[in-house]
Amino acid sequence: MFTLEKKVAVITGGGSGIGKAVALVFAQQGATVQVIDLNTEQANQTVLEIRQAGGEASGFTCDVSRQTAVTETLQQIGKIDILVNSAGISHIGTVETTLEEDFEKVFRINVKGIYNCMYAVIPLMKQHGGGVILNMSSVAAWVGIPDRFAYSMSKGAVAAMTLSVARDYIKESIRCNSISPARVHTPFVDGFLEKNYPGREAEMFQKLSQTQPIGRMANPDEIAKLILYLCSDEAAFITGSDYPIDGGFIKLNN
């Protein structure tokens, strides 16, 4: 079950965090993985780990906010069965403290980046008989989270784009879903704590972990396993849906 043999999977943001975990799990399940990341060194490291484990992978340096670059990269890959849009950034701030340039940066990467990738991949999927798109939304799209104005905006847009694409291309055998993680323990979290809470990293990590009713953050591999299911043939009846993976964050926080 959940085999991705003979599937070509493109993972944006595949050099680190959730994207890297997805790339590794997909390769383990037999996919030929195409890692796209802005950081060449990190993309190459993911590719190296996949190849050392006996899998097939290639890496591409690409800024997802640039449509021409995205289109050229995906056309170079050619046949694409699965696209996982994992590339994204966060931002801290209310509407009053969010500068215009910060708002535009979040929009450019988190919203326009996913649009660019879907814009480029859908003609390729139509050409080869269909495919699967998985977009990274967030619990921030569904509940109010303090100091996450721009980030919440971007993830709400991702959820809406997912529904639109699922509706428009259902007859083309293209499925499109999203997932909404709560906090996930990635290198980004460690860097955020080190930058903003020097000397209090352990205390703040515990505090952030406790915001999930389950009492901890998710591991990237746990997120990757849900993505694997939604991108596999076992999930062939699922499209136009968002799946929270949040340790009870949305439904159990009162």
Give domain limits for the chain.
Answer: 8-182+219-249, 185-217
- As a whole number, mean pLDDT of residues 141-155 equals 97
**Reading across the β-sheet that carries 131-136, which strands appear in turn?**
56-61, 32-37, 8-12, 82-85, 131-136, 174-181, 242-245
Pick the CATH number of 8-182+219-249 from 1.20.120.420, 3.40.50.10490, 3.40.50.140, 3.40.50.720: 3.40.50.720
- The pLDDT tens digits of the residues spanning 78-103 come to 999 999 999 999 999 999 999 999 99
Which pLDDT does position 188 carry in this prediction? Answer: 84
Task: Give the predicted TM-score (pTM) of the model.
Answer: 0.96
Residues with a catalytic annotation lie at 151
Amino acid at 44: N
The answer to whether residue 187 scores a pLDDT higher than 80 is yes
The CA angle 165-183-199, to the nearest 5 degrees, is 145
